[in-house]
Structure 1
Amino acid sequence: MFSLGIPLVAFVALLALSLYKYIIYPSFISPLAKVPNAHWSSSFSPIWILWVRYSRRENATLHQVHSKLGPVIRVGPSEISVNDVGSLRSVYGGGMEKGQWYAIFDNYGVPCMFSAAHSRPHSARKRMISNVYSKSYIHNSPAFAQQSEIILYDRLLPLIKSSISEGVDVLDMFFATTMDGITAYLFGTKNASNFLQNEEYRKHWLSLYYTRKRYTYFSQELPRLTRFLKKLHIYLIPTWVDDANKELEAWCKERCDATEDFLGASAKDSELANEPVVLGALVNGIEKEKSLKGTQSVLAEETLKYPELSIASEMIDHLAAGHETSGITLTFVSWHLSQDAALQKALRSELLSLPQTMLLSSNKRGIPNSKDLDTLPLLHAVIMETLRFSAAIPGNQPRMTPYPSCTVGEYEIPGGIRIGAQAHSVHRNPEIYPDPEKWDYKRWLDGPENKMSEEQKKERDRWFWAFSSGGRMCVGSNFAMHEMKLVIAAIYTNFTTHIVDDEGIEQADGYTSGPTSNKLVLRFEEVKD
């Protein structure tokens, strides 16, 4: 009797302790218990949010919950979602660090700037390249100007002209354009991609890149389970995904090696377009970091220990993000323009007002002055509204709360909690963006056609979050904006676009998201003056 009683008491005690630790405390006693639950189970189980993410409906679901419960919600036992400018400032402007979720962006087994978990190594790496991604540097870079001229005049515009009256998958075309653009800036035109003219390899590369993207869920959300099952030869992620990643990494490493050989050559290439702007800045930055005396670099254990792999990791991150986000945005811009012939006409009229136009019929080939390009309100407005309405990265961008705790909104949040916001929701606040589900470029115009007050315009700009915010916001935002303006200017100065097949144009739900169909077919017509 006594011997039976001890196991029973132990079992009851263990059960009571488990109930307290996993249900009672998180649901009723924890500081997080004051935060509204997105789902009835959110306080004690992550299953609901894991299923939502697995089902690829996180953006829409969390936006719906925020609309009902407010700007701070609890989506799991140790996870918070936020949705207002004050919370964005606390999370992204307050120095909260990244967590294990970003390890999937480590390439070649080493972190890049984007995946660096802590702010100090991130800042050290950012200092090496932030100058060449600054607006003033890009706008005044002879290398960028020549690279853009080659890509637009020798590749993109001839490709479009050769396909007049035929249907063109512009998502594929824009991915090629932006890949050629970003790799030229990274490696110089000599060692960059030429996807616009090499269609066969472009389709192979993009197939590798995009088919493997479907399998990021398990590595990001269930990394321990994924690793454990892999040891038992149970693969949640198909083995061919590793093969695809290896081929993509090898492709990038080959360009890195060729570019470093180019930089080390005694005879310098006089062609400005061949200047590897970003890789050159990174190589110089690493050399300077190595020469520091009297103190150990915060990059000693990663970047300086594996310099070649660290450079390659940085480059593949830039070319991946640089081609995908801009390619998606250009696709959605062209879709909206293709539905409005009058808007296309007004845009062309604005583009023709530039001192340096991009008319193919002109004998004066060249790239518009960046300052002139930035004065075009309609061009700026259609891009900004597309970035608001269909941000290329609409998904959650998580951070980790600092120990012992921090304040977010009206709540005290313990340390070690995953917390994040998503542009999809931030951009759909009806108080800031009236009728948010309508694409309305006029909300970004500052002329008499826009009835917003100056204070409303300030709020409009404060809530714009397509490039994130804080010290870890997108380093390539200036490059992306200028590149997209040039591409739109080149196309709509010379052509009009018309929809052939836009089935599935709705934006997919996910972290980085294009059309659900992964295509948009348009027909181009040359404008005759």
Structure 2
Amino acid sequence: MLLAPLLLPLLLLALAAHALYKALSSPLNRIPGPWYARLTSLVLKWHEFRANRTRYIHELHLRYGPAVRIAPREMAFASAGAVREIYCSGGSGFDKTEFYDLFRVYGRRTMFTTLDKDHHARRKRIIADRYANSNIVRPKPLGGIAERAAKFAQRCAQSGLLVEFQLGLHAYAFDCVTHHLFHPHGTDSLLQGGKDEAIMREVTFDDSLQNRLFQHYWPTAHRLLHKLLYLFAKPRETPLADHFVLDSCNADDSAPFTLLDRLREPAHGLDPLDVAAECLDHMAAGIDTTGDALCFLMWEVSQPRSMRFQRKLQQEVRQTKAESPSSFVVDGMPYLDAVVMEGLRCFPAIPMSLPRYVPPGGRTIDGYFLPAGTIVSCQPYSVHRIDTAVFPDPDTFNPERWLDPKGDAERKRLLFAFANGGRGCVGKHLALAEMKLLLQAVYSRFTTLPDATMTEADMEMSDQLISSRPAGQRCLLRFVPLQESELLE
């Protein structure tokens, strides 16, 4: 009886001793990193909840090197060898972690949220055809993008000098991706104030980060506390987008080039909810990624420090337009390509970590043996900056580094903006076409300059699970007609 009051403290002490022993005897202890990463993941989670994971991990890379321990069983890498092993070995790399469960749609797994390679490969075989470059550059798909790029430039001209162009870029990306998914039932959110703009705002201005992370890390507590949590950390709710996608998927006249037309082919055996889930997933992904990548890029191109790059870009796109006034050009413009590549290096659409599980038997990455089940990842933001031999002065935006043939292979090997391997971004060619045609439409007509009310702090990265947006959630630029800006010079 006298021993009973001591049992609970002794049990707690034994559990603490066991946890400490595991921490001190872990094979990951040889890997550099902050001391607390051996004991807890709470510091990492704290930065995630504060929308700061990307910069926090990058600071650890700068301090400890390209391999760093960030939690008791989680590692971050920033080398070409690690990218190749984690994401390309066996074609599709290591399997995804349960982190991707956060992105299931209607309770279904889409291509993006499948965890194992075999299920992913089966779904990708259905989808990849519609995102192949040969399909993107056909007249109908590419013409739809060019039409929306011209409409964006017209919207800027009608708005006068000052444009809240982050909103416009999201509208442009939304209209482009829905054209590719659903034509002739794509959106026209560039027409301000309409129902399509309301759908775009619902998907884009999402503040469910904390709620979704809480659900991921503490699912039982989330089920018990979700009503209380709703008061200060709302879940993601997209009723307008849901209705739009479900209605679009019910239409029976989708164009042959669209993803919807492909998914509905009877041979694939997808039920209507699988089709709608896949389409909604692609739609949501296509807005923030392309929209914010363009936003960060055009903000940088508009700075006084980058004006010489803007001038050279204007010269090339105007010359190309003069030579081919009626065609849509996405290739053969080296300076435009360099600007886009450098934009993706400095401001990748998905800058954050892409977590994977080390497979059975363990693997050696960058000289460190990692047991099976260890979580490993690379984040594009760091992969693009940590190797200063390949990218000298890595924090400086300099498109002309991509015009130097020396080191071209090494630069391309380290470009991780669309991930790598069999699970790399299937929409890469669509995103590149959208970016290039938009930049041509703008810089053949305008000089862009930052508004005086904007600050660098407004344009700091704010992590949103995988994508990243400007911290101020706005970006004001002045669009000066090119002839007028030339006179000013």
TM-score, length-scaled by structure 1: 0.83
SS of 1:311's equivalent in the other structure is: helix
Q: Deviations over 1:227-282 (max 9, x none)?
A: 43433555434599457233322222122222xx224xxxxxxxxxx555211122
Amino acid at match of 1:502: M
Cα 1:341/1:60, change in 2 over 3 Å: closer
CA contact (8 A) 2:130 2:257 kept: no
Q: 19, 22, 42: which is aligned to 2:19?
A: 22
Greater Cα offset, 230-239 or 505-514: 230-239
Which structure would you say has the larger Rg?
1
Equivalent residue runs for 1:410-489 within 5 Å: 410-429=367-386, 430-446=388-404, 454=406, 456-489=407-440
Q: Deviations over 1:271-310 (max 9, x none)?
A: xxx55521112222xx2234xxxxxxxxxxxxx4xx2111
SS of 1:412's equivalent in the other structure is: strand
Q: In the alignment, what sits opposite 2:121?
A: 123
Cα 1:323/1:232, change in 2 over 3 Å: closer
Equivalent residue runs for 1:167-316 within 5 Å: 167-188=162-183, 190-212=184-206, 214-220=207-213, 223=216, 225-231=218-224, 234-238=227-231, 241=234, 244-258=237-251, 261-263=252-254, 275=256, 277-284=258-265, 287-290=266-269, 304=270, 307-316=271-280
Q: Which runs of 5+ in 2 are unaligned?
A: none
Q: In the alignment, what sits opposite 2:445?
A: 494
CA contact (8 A) 1:96 1:399 kept: yes
Amino acid at match of 2:148: I
Q: In the alignment, what sits opposite 2:328?
A: 368
Q: Shift in Å at residue 419 of structure 1? A: 1.4
Q: In the alignment, what sits opposite 2:317?
A: 351
Q: Shift in Å at residue 492 of structure 1? A: 1.1
Amino acid at match of 1:156: F
Q: Shift in Å at residue 505 of structure 1? A: 2.1
Cα 1:31/1:69, change in 2 over 3 Å: same
Cα 1:243/1:9, change in 2 over 3 Å: closer
Q: 134, 139, 147: which is aligned to 1:142?
A: 139
Is 2:294 aligned against 1:330? yes
Amino acid at match of 1:192: G
Greater Cα offset, 60-69 or 403-412: 403-412
Greater Cα offset, 215-224 or 312-321: 215-224
Greater Cα offset, 492-501 or 234-243: 234-243
SS of 2:296's equivalent in the other structure is: helix
Cα 1:439/1:240, change in 2 over 3 Å: closer
CA distance in 2, matches of 1:58, 1:204: 30
SS of 2:396's equivalent in the other structure is: coil
CA contact (8 A) 1:401 1:415 kept: yes
Q: Shift in Å at residue 108 of structure 1? A: 1.0
Amino acid at match of 1:496: T
SS of 2:356's equivalent in the other structure is: strand
Identical amino acids, percent of aligned pairs: 28
Q: CA RMSD in A?
A: 2.5
Q: How many residues align?
A: 474
CA contact (8 A) 2:102 2:216 kept: no
CA distance in 1, matches of 2:275, 2:32: 44
CA distance in 1, matches of 2:226, 2:294: 42
Q: In the alignment, what sits opposite 2:475?
A: 520
Cα 1:5/1:223, change in 2 over 3 Å: same
CA contact (8 A) 1:99 1:117 kept: yes
CA distance in 2, matches of 1:522, 1:275: 38
Q: Which runs of 5+ in 1 are unaligned?
A: 264-273, 291-303, 359-363, 448-453
Q: Shift in Å at residue 472 of structure 1? A: 0.6
CA distance in 1, matches of 2:426, 2:236: 29
Q: Deviations over 1:40-76 (max 9, x none)?
A: 2211222111112122222112111112222222211
Cα 1:382/1:512, change in 2 over 3 Å: same
Q: Shift in Å at residue 156 of structure 1? A: 2.2
Amino acid at match of 2:392: P
Q: Deviations over 1:377-401 (max 9, x none)?
A: 1111111111111112111111111
Q: 72, 81, 90: which is aligned to 2:85?
A: 90
Cα 1:224/1:385, change in 2 over 3 Å: closer
CA distance in 2, matches of 1:219, 1:93: 29
SS of 2:314's equivalent in the other structure is: helix
TM-score, length-scaled by structure 2: 0.89
Runs of 4+, deviation exceeding 4 Å: 5-11, 237-243, 355-358
Q: Deviations over 1:462-511 (max 9, x none)?
A: 11111111111100111111111111111111222222243212332453
CA distance in 2, matches of 1:159, 1:245: 26
SS of 1:4's equivalent in the other structure is: coil
CA contact (8 A) 2:148 2:175 kept: yes
CA distance in 1, matches of 2:321, 2:211: 52
CA distance in 2, matches of 1:357, 1:241: 52
Q: In the alignment, what sits opposite 1:298?
A: none
